[in-house]
Amino acid sequence: MKRIAVCPGSFDPITYGHIDIIERASRIFDVVYVSVLKNSAKEGLFTPQERVELINEVTKGLPNVEVRIFNGLLIDFCEEVEAQAIVRGLRAVSDFEYEMQLTSMNRKLNSTIETIYMMTNNNYSFISSSMVKEVAKYGGKIEDVVPPQVESALRGKFNPQ
């Protein structure tokens, strides 16, 4: 049986913190689906298609990673691709409450799909897509927190030539 995991998120845009989790998951599972989902609490900067293109570019060295857009519940996506696990990164205590709610709700919807948390690498524990967008918006330095393709996509959004 193939070990299949889903790395879900809004990825608006993908950061080195996300990439670290996806890479580590790809070493443990046979197939990792990166699932671009809607977080109804967040306004998007990139379209889902733009997010997928960026994720594809920055994960192209990982042959067992596939990127998908899904309009609906994370658990429905997991069932569709027959995943046994959801993998999420945990940065700090401040993430914990939301993550606990998410996991509990997903477990109510399908108790056979396990959620696994990986502690984010210390170098990335302070990164969030929201902060990256804010720094990029005001022309700050973001090259340490996102790959070059994402940096130029952000510059394109905020400083279209």
C-alpha distances out from residue 129 to 7, 29, 30, 42, 85, Å: 16, 25, 27, 11, 24
Give the integer Cα–Cα distance in Å for 93 and 61: 32
Do the annotations mark residue 28 as ligand-binding?
A: no
Annotate 93-129 with b (16+ C-beta within 10 A) or e (fewer).
eebeeeeeeebeebeeeeeebebeeeebbeebeebeb
CA atoms within 13 Å, Cβ hemisphere of 140: 12
In whole angstroms, the minimum distance from the beta carbon of 155 to ligand PNS comes to 22
Do the annotations mark residue 111 as ligand-binding?
A: no
Stretch that binds ligand PNS, among 7-15, 22-30, 136-144, 146-154 (CB under 6 A): 7-15
Give the integer Cα–Cα distance in Å for 156 and 154: 5
In whole angstroms, the minimum distance from the beta carbon of 160 to ligand PNS comes to 25
8: contact with ligand PNS by CB under 6 A: yes
Residues classed as catalytic:
18, 42, 91, 129
Residues 51-90 that bind ligand PNS (CB under 6 A): 73-74
CB closest to ligand PNS, residue no:
9
37: contact with ligand PNS by CB under 6 A: yes
100: contact with ligand PNS by CB under 6 A: no
47: contact with ligand PNS by CB under 6 A: no
**How many amino acids of this chain bind ligand PNS (CB under 6 A)?**
11
Do the annotations mark residue 89 as ligand-binding?
A: yes
Residues that bind ligand PNS (CB under 6 A): 8-10, 37-39, 42, 73-74, 102, 105
